[in-house]
């Protein structure tokens, strides 16, 4: 394997990298994401950006010129994993980086993640940090989302997967692993990471490759997300991916007790806000249970 040196890498020497961003009805998020990408410490000549419009309405457009090469791809098959596969097929880079349209990468994000990947002595995938950022006046839903966290370190160390919101991999390993499972509308990153584990391709956590994202602010958005995640876990059970000796279950991002403890220690919250918080938590739990039952009746899963 090339580039095994542990010394810091000159960003001008980085292999050509392809950043793949699936987008579904999030033009505003994409615009902000692209602004952050153009500020990376890696020279813009060293990477390309592939934006994959996953049948948005209205269609996604590139509103301004950018200093890096960028391509807009249309993928009409529903699902972000189908969109990521479409991006992979068009990518020209030796390194593939997956990023979500609602994420804002820090200036050194691409450099740190790529260096970690290249400096590894073992075949690996690198998962960068995904930091949740509260707004100036967070809603109750937003506080709940923040409390359960987006613990990428725990994802990697406990559940052996990295979310595709911030993931680095060599193209050669994608050739070994194959594409994402397009039958999964949620959890495809988990299944794909577990395939890597079976091939002894390790997943490494890189805390210095940071992207920021915002929790869901509205109850409607949180319900949609809860339905999609529940659908993903249901599909996992149907495919026999959970409940096996290798993967008996997915550890929660934060246990119920940890969430309650977080709530009790938030002295800045009034008693009324704490009650609202518990109501949101109870409602979303009921949504997940209902969605599981709905899917057992052969209903269509939530795609967003």
Residue 69 lies in a domain: yes
Higher-confidence position of 281 and 196: 196
Q: Is the pLDDT of residue 8 over 60?
A: no
Distance CA 250, CA 281 (A): 19
**What is the predicted pLDDT for the residue at 69?**
95
Residue 272 lies in a domain: yes
Q: State the DSSP string of 201-231.
A: -EEEEEEEEEEEEPPP-SHHHHHHHHHHHHH
pTM of the predicted model, to two decimals?
A: 0.83
Q: Model confidence over 16-36: pLDDT tens digits?
A: 999 999 999 999 999 999 999
Residue 301 lies in a domain: no
Residue 61 lies in a domain: yes
66, with CB counted inside 10 A (0-12, 13-18, 19+), is: middle
**What is the predicted pLDDT for the residue at 54?**
96
Residue 177 lies in a domain: yes
Q: Model confidence over 196-248: pLDDT tens digits?
A: 999 999 999 999 999 999 888 788 887 887 787 777 677 766 666 654 545 54
Residue 6 lies in a domain: no
What does the block give as tokens for 66?
């950018």
Beta strands in 93-165 (DSSP E): 95-99, 104-105, 124-132
Residue 4's pLDDT band, with cuts at 50, 70 and 90, is: very low
Residue 178's pLDDT band, with cuts at 50, 70 and 90, is: very high
Pairing relation of β-strands 95-99 and 202-213?
A: unpaired
CB atoms within 10 A of CB 269: 16
Is the distance from CB of 143 to CB of 91 less than 8 angstroms?
no
What φ, ψ does residue 197 adopt, rounded to 5°? -60, -40
Higher-confidence position of 58 and 299: 58
**What is the predicted pLDDT for the residue at 203?**
95
Q: How many domains does the chain have?
A: 1
**What is the predicted pLDDT for the residue at 255?**
57
SS3 42: coil
Q: Which domain holds residue 229?
A: 12-296
SS3 23: strand
**What is the predicted pLDDT for the residue at 276?**
80
**What is the predicted pLDDT for the residue at 111?**
97
Q: What is the CATH number of the domain that holds 113?
A: 3.90.550.10
Span of 18-32, 68-82, 121-135, 208-222 with lowest mean pLDDT? 208-222
Residue 187's pLDDT band, with cuts at 50, 70 and 90, is: confident
Instruction: Name the average pLDDT for the chain.
Output: 85
**What is the predicted pLDDT for the residue at 259?**
65
**What is the predicted pLDDT for the residue at 159?**
84
Distance CA 212, CA 102 (A): 8
**What is the predicted pLDDT for the residue at 3?**
41
Cα atoms found within 13 Å of the Cα of residue 197, Cβ hemisphere only: 17
Which of 49-53, 131-135, 221-225, 299-303 has the highest average model confidence (pLDDT)? 49-53
Which run of H or of E encompasses 32? helix 27-37
Which of 157-166, 183-192, 246-255 has the highest average model confidence (pLDDT)? 157-166
Residue 138 lies in a domain: yes
Q: Is the pLDDT of residue 250 over 60?
A: no
What proportions of the chain, in percent to the nearest 5, are helix, strand and coil? 40, 15, 40
Residue 303 lies in a domain: no
**What is the predicted pLDDT for the residue at 183?**
83
Span of 157-161, 235-239, 282-286 with lowest mean pLDDT? 235-239
């Amino acid at each position: 394997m090339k580039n095994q040196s542990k010394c810091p890498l000159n960003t001008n020497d980085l292999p050509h990298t392809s950043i793949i961003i699936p987008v579904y009805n999030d033009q505003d998020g994409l615009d902000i994401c692209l602004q952050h990408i153009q500020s990376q410490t890696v020279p813009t000549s060293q990477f390309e950006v592939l934006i994959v419009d996953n049948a948005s309405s209205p269609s996604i457009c590139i509103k301004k010129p950018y200093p890096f090469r960028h391509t807009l791809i249309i993928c009409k098959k529903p699902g972000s994993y189908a969109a990521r596969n479409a991006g992979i097929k068009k990518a020209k880079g030796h390194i593939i980086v997956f990023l979500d349209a609602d994420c804002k990468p820090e200036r050194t994000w691409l450099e740190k993640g790529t260096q970690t990947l290249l400096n590894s002595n073992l075949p690996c995938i690198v998962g960068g940090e995904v930091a949740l950022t509260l707004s100036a006046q967070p809603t109750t839903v937003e506080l709940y989302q923040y409390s359960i966290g987006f613990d990428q370190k725990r994802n990697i160390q406990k559940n052996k997967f990295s979310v595709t919101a911030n993931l680095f991999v060599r193209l050669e390993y994608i050739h070994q692993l194959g594409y994402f499972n397009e039958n999964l509308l949620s959890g495809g990153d988990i299944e794909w990471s577990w395939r890597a584990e079976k091939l002894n391709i390790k997943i490494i956590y890189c805390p210095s490759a940071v992207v920021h994202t915002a929790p869901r602010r509205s109850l409607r958005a949180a319900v949609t997300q809860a339905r999609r995640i529940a659908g993903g876990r249901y599909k996992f059970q149907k495919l026999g991916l959970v409940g096996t000796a290798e993967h008996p279950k997915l550890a929660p991002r934060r246990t119920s007790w940890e969430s309650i403890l977080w709530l009790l220690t938030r002295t800045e919250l009034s008693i009324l806000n704490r009650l609202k918080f518990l109501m949101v938590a109870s409602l979303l739990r009921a949504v997940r249970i209902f969605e599981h039952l709905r899917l057992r009746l052969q209903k269509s899963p939530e795609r967003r």
